[in-house]
Amino acid sequence: MVMKSQTTGLKVASVIFGLVCLVHILRLIRGFQIVVGSYYFGRGLSLVAIMVSGFLCVWLWKLACPGSSSTKATPASNS
């Protein structure tokens, strides 16, 4: 039962990071500006956010899927 809960948590976190990545991609395409108080966040920040959130999305999804190639053991050679 615990494994199912961990898998679900990893998948939910992966989807959240995927959505964050998509929002930043849309920001670059559509040209939305982010201003907090008097500080303007440049587009470079979105590029970094796309790379980080995209990486986390893929990594967490791979951890959640037991049949992914990252969790399969390679067979030992019989030399």
**pTM attached to this predicted model:** 0.74
What is the pLDDT averaged over residues 49-57?
Answer: 96
Spatial CA neighbour of 61 closest among 16, 23, 10, 24: 10
Amino acid (1-letter code) at residue 44: G
Residue 8 above 50 pLDDT? yes
Amino acid (1-letter code) at residue 26: L
Tokens at 69, concatenated: 């190639």
Q: What is the pLDDT of residues 28-44, one digit of tens each?
A: 999 888 889 999 988 89
Assign 55 to helix, strand or coil.
Answer: helix
If one compares 75 and 14, the residue with the highest pLDDT of the two is 14
